[in-house]
Amino acid sequence: MTTLKNSKSQDILFINLPPVSPELLKTDDVTSADNLTPPLGLLYLANSIIDCPFVGSYKCVDFAIYDYGRLLEKKTMGKFVSEKMQNVGIEKPNIIAISLIFSSSYEFFKIVIAEIKKCWPDAIVIVGGIHASNNVAYLLRKHSEIDYIACGEGEEVFVEFIEMIAAGKQKNIFGVHSVNNIKKVKGNQFERTKFVEKLSIDYTRYHNMIDMKLYTTGTSLFSLSKTTLSVRSFAIMASRGCPYHCTFCAAHTVHGRDQRWRSMYNVVDEINWLNKTYGVTKYYLIDDNFLPKSKVIEFFHTLSSINIKDFEVVIQNMSINSTDFEIIDAIIAANITNNIAFAIESGVSRIQKKIKKNVNLNKAIELVKYSQSRGLNVRCFFIIGFPGETVEEMKKTFEYAKKLGADWSTFNVAAPIPGTEMYEEFVELGYILDGPSSWTATSLRDRVFDSKEISGKEIKELAYRANLDINFVNNMNIRKDEYKNAEIIFSNFIKKWNFHIFAYDSLRRIYKETGEKQAENDIINQMKMVLASNKKAQLFCKYFDLLDDDIRRILEA
């Protein structure tokens, strides 16, 4: 462990990691996703040190923004990492603050801490974030490069920590652990920092940390938004915490179970500032949940007063049980979006109970129908592969999704995330080991283990085929002759995923149905061209049995 030296002025280097370690990103896999979303946790930490008298300077190395394909080929990752850190503008940082949120970042994280010790053996390394918070003992014991781990929300504790380092004297900070001071509470839980009460932020500091131009040039996150991906966008978090107990979710391990809101004034101010400074018009609300009802209605009402041309919000995650018609009405009245997303997860009551989500499946049908009747595009999230879930039950979820008739259904495979009840269940069942070999399995739709019910490879295929079947081949908007809406969705889709044969095919069917012969032929020609030249497009060949016979014959000719 690094020894502390008294020094009044601390130079701080923040480090943001890619959500998935680059070597795990399978670029030849049509189901893989790439996303660039701002590291709000680090941005908020930078905000928390505004008034700290012991901060000399601070910078951030953002490893999430690079494309690692070539580096992986050349095996020069370590060199790249150390060059980026050394060229950021702090010659000799005193404190290095790393955000380790995603378990799937762990392999990359190991490269980073190894390079830190080569560059600056005396720097103090503190790590925080959800993954770090749930693996305090393992990480501290395994990696002597880590001096401290902050478990839980970091804003207040980080200031206390800087004061301690500046004073050069060890102090037992609540929620902060070192290898000689691991404060276990019970099981795999560790003493956690107190929840932050003052959630207001000074977003004007964002640009000191990340390349704001890059983060606002549009997002690759899929949504049913009416605008295209070229619109400038940014993620906003208006509240933290969720009272529910879903067994697969780790958010509570850092943000707790009480929903705390930022002041409406502060949120509106951030929205306006992002618009004025970077031209942002589209805002992704990434709050875990939206409740209580009175606050949610107040929130949407407040957003309605925003005077930004083409202002739009994307509501990522509403819970069925805490939403009702009045809340939908408030969203409609606010006139801020054309879409909404509900997390449903399973179409089977037994599984709903087991995962403690307890979605009322009949209410979900009513809410989806009502939202659609009020003009909203509805997206629903589903997960298959919970511990003990049979293949039959997974198929029932697909049937339910079809019956529900959302405008889009997203099917993920249950990922064992450390700190969750479901992770413990998978360990007990003997499917995974508690440790790094399982952490890679937390990346989207991936399954690196087999279960009694289904193999890892098969479940991934099952989820992907359901996606093609329900969202493309049996697309609800096309089935209901809502061709205009469907055309917007699929045209936007192709702008981002220009290799997606099934998206082209959906457009082809729209033009066929609407009698636009020329457009139909153009799309068929495009499909042939893409198929001949794009490797990712060719990966769809194995799903051609799902296509209509006529187009299948043309493509296979």
Binding site for ligand SF4 (CB under 6 A): 242, 244, 246, 249, 251, 288-289, 319, 343
Residues 393-452 that bind ligand B12 (CB under 6 A): 415, 417-418, 442-444
The residue among 210 and 355 lying less far from ligand SF4, judged by its C-beta, is: 355
| Tokens at 139, concatenated | 């990480």
Q: Indicate which of ligand SF4, ligand B12, none lies near residue 346 (CB less than 5 to 8 Å, by partner kind).
A: none
Q: Indicate which of ligand B12, ligand SF4, none lies near residue 254 (CB less than 5 to 8 Å, by partner kind).
A: ligand B12
Report if residue 153 touches ligand B12, rule: CB under 6 A.
yes
Shortest distance in whole angstroms from residue 361 CB to ligand B12: 22
Report if residue 225 touches ligand B12, rule: CB under 6 A.
no
Q: Indicate which of ligand SF4, ligand B12, none lies near residue 37 (CB less than 5 to 8 Å, by partner kind).
A: ligand B12
Q: Are 248 and 201 in contact (CB under 8 A)?
A: no
Among 159, 386, 131, which Cα is nearest to 253's? 131
Q: Indicate which of ligand B12, ligand SF4, none lies near residue 244 (CB less than 5 to 8 Å, by partner kind).
A: ligand SF4
Report if residue 250 touches ligand B12, rule: CB under 6 A.
yes
Phi and psi at residue 2, in whole multiples of 5°?
-70, 140
Shortest distance in whole angstroms from residue 75 CB to ligand B12: 23
Shortest distance in whole angstroms from residue 206 CB to ligand SF4: 25
The residue among 231 and 318 lying less far from ligand SF4, judged by its C-beta, is: 318
Q: Indicate which of ligand B12, ligand SF4, none lies near residue 101 (CB less than 5 to 8 Å, by partner kind).
A: ligand B12
Q: Indicate which of ligand SF4, ligand B12, none lies near residue 417 (CB less than 5 to 8 Å, by partner kind).
A: ligand B12
> b vs e for 58-86, b when ≥16 Cβ sit within 10 Å of the residue's Cβ?
bbbbbbbeeebeebeeeeebeebbbebbe
Q: Are 17 and 105 in contact (CB under 8 A)?
A: yes
Report if residue 128 touches ligand B12, rule: CB under 6 A.
yes
Report if residue 99 touches ligand B12, rule: CB under 6 A.
yes
Residues 324-363 that bind ligand B12 (CB under 6 A): none
Shortest distance in whole angstroms from residue 544 CB to ligand SF4: 36
Q: Indicate which of ligand B12, ligand SF4, none lies near residue 241 (CB less than 5 to 8 Å, by partner kind).
A: none
Q: Which residues contact 19 (CB under 8 A, 6 or more apart)?
A: 35, 64, 101, 102, 104, 105, 443
Collapsing DSSP to helix, strand or coil, 44 comes out as helix
The residue among 99 and 475 lying less far from ligand B12, judged by its C-beta, is: 99
The residue among 44 and 540 lying less far from ligand B12, judged by its C-beta, is: 44
Among 162, 295, 168, which Cα is nearest to 240's? 295
Binding part of the chain for ligand B12, among 38-46, 207-215, 296-304, 545-553 by CB under 6 A, reads: 38-46
Q: Indicate which of ligand SF4, ligand B12, none lies near residue 289 (CB less than 5 to 8 Å, by partner kind).
A: ligand SF4
Q: Which of 154, 256, 347, 416 binds ligand B12 (CB under 6 A)?
A: 154
Starting from the edge strand earliest in sequence, which strands make up the sheet with 408-413, in order? 233-236, 282-285, 312-319, 339-345, 377-384, 408-413
- Taking the C-alpha atoms of residue 271 and residue 189, their distance in angstroms, rounded to an integer, is 36
Size of site (CB under 6 A) for ligand B12: 44
Using the Cα atoms of residue 455, residue 460, residue 464 and residue 467 in order, give the sign of their dihedral. positive
- Taking the C-alpha atoms of residue 354 and residue 422, their distance in angstroms, rounded to an integer, is 10
Report if residue 1 touches ligand B12, rule: CB under 6 A.
no
Per-residue x/- mask for ligand B12, residues 266 to 305, rule CB under 6 A? --------------------x-x-----------------
- Taking the C-alpha atoms of residue 263 and residue 351, their distance in angstroms, rounded to an integer, is 37
β-pairing, 239-240 vs 260-261, is antiparallel
DSSP string across 204-254: GGHHHHS-HHHHTS--------SS-TTS-EEEE--EE------TT--THHH
Collapsing DSSP to helix, strand or coil, 69 comes out as helix
Please name the amino acid found at residue 509: R
Report if residue 33 touches ligand B12, rule: CB under 6 A.
yes
The residue among 433 and 529 lying less far from ligand B12, judged by its C-beta, is: 433
Q: What is the DSSP letter of 389?
A: -
Q: Indicate which of ligand SF4, ligand B12, none lies near residue 246 (CB less than 5 to 8 Å, by partner kind).
A: ligand SF4
Binding part of the chain for ligand B12, among 243-251, 352-360, 464-472, 543-551 by CB under 6 A, reads: 243-251
- Taking the C-alpha atoms of residue 148 and residue 224, their distance in angstroms, rounded to an integer, is 42
- Taking the C-alpha atoms of residue 311 and residue 271, their distance in angstroms, rounded to an integer, is 10
Q: Which of 106, 158, 300, 400 binds ligand B12 (CB under 6 A)?
A: 158
Report if residue 192 touches ligand B12, rule: CB under 6 A.
no
Report if residue 104 touches ligand B12, rule: CB under 6 A.
yes
Report if residue 501 touches ligand B12, rule: CB under 6 A.
no
Q: Indicate which of ligand SF4, ligand B12, none lies near residue 444 (CB less than 5 to 8 Å, by partner kind).
A: ligand B12
Using the Cα atoms of residue 63, residue 64, residue 67 and residue 72 in order, give the sign of their dihedral. positive
DSSP string across 49-68: TTT-TTEEEEEEEEGGG---
Report if residue 94 touches ligand B12, rule: CB under 6 A.
no
Enumerate the β-bridge partners of residue 319. 343
CB atoms within 10 A of CB 249: 20
Q: Indicate which of ligand B12, ligand SF4, none lies near residue 10 (CB less than 5 to 8 Å, by partner kind).
A: none
Q: For the chain, first and last CA: distance in Å? A: 66
Q: Indicate which of ligand B12, ligand SF4, none lies near residue 409 (CB less than 5 to 8 Å, by partner kind).
A: none
Q: Which of 55, 85, 123, 126 binds ligand B12 (CB under 6 A)?
A: 126
**Site of tokens 């509470």:** 185
Residues that bind ligand B12 (CB under 6 A): 19-20, 33, 35, 37, 39-42, 44-45, 97-99, 101-104, 126-131, 150, 153-155, 158, 221, 237, 249-251, 254-255, 286, 288, 415, 417-418, 442-444
